[in-house]
Amino acid sequence: QVHLAESGGGSVQAGGSLRLSCVVSGYGSSGSGCVVWFRQIPGKEEREGVAGIYTGQDSEFYADSVKGRFAISRDKAKKTVYLQMNALNAEDTATYYCALGWSMYGGRCLMGQHDFGYWGQGTQVTVSS
């Protein structure tokens, strides 16, 4: 059974950094898929896909809102996907989720929330200005 578990959230001052971790278990190591980090702002139903990685090639994808500030990476041995977040600002405050899916188009992971069936429980990130 696939299970995802996030950690690493917390409170940080604007301009600071955090690194989130997502351990993916119960998923065949020989398979390839898309692990995407989403975030959800309180009061909003939609989750925004901010960074994704295709495990077959370790290719990375970013939303424009985080490009140049966030970096996604993977440790295959630890079955962990990381999200390094730098230059954080108040607009980055949200609950961050990792999700696993297999939907791709044009060699890119799709990053809509409805393309993913496996989710972690989320970790809160609060950025104070």
CB 61 within 8 A of CB 73: no
pLDDT of residue 29: 52
- CA 109 – CA 107 distance, rounded (Å): 7
- CA 99 – CA 110 distance, rounded (Å): 12
pLDDT of residue 28: 66
pLDDT of residue 66: 98
pLDDT of residue 32: 86
- CA 38 – CA 50 distance, rounded (Å): 6
pLDDT of residue 125: 98
| Percentage of the chain modeled with pLDDT above 90 | 86
List, run by run, the mean pLDDT of 10-residue segments along the chain (129 residues).
96 98 80 93 94 93 97 95 98 97 91 94 97
